[in-house]
Amino acid sequence: MSAEATIMKADFPGKVLDVMVHEGDSITAGQPVILLEVMKMENELLAPASGVVEKISVEKNNSVGAGDPLLTIR
């Protein structure tokens, strides 16, 4: 039985400045995982749940739109 996946999505369009985790990393809810530039301001995006990073859907310097998947946690 596998745990249900949590897909973290971008709330706003922006540019990925840094991805602070790697696939396979164990993370805790509230941990900074992605640095996103939105309207010239840097925003640390925090993990919405604890678990293991299953998939990272973005890379540094990618542009993302609101609702785009950023990473999957299981």
pLDDT tens readout for residues 19-45? 999 999 999 999 999 999 999 999 999
Q: Mind listing the domains of the chain with CATH numbers? A: 21-63 (2.40.50.100)
Q: How does DSSP assign 11-56, residue by residue?
A: SS-EEEEEE---TT-EE-TT-EEEEEEETTEEEEEEPSS-EEEEEE
Entry pTM: 0.90
Residues 10-14 have a mean pLDDT of 95
Beta bridge partners, 8, equal 71
Beta bridge partners of 52: 26
Tokens at residue 12, please? 């706003």
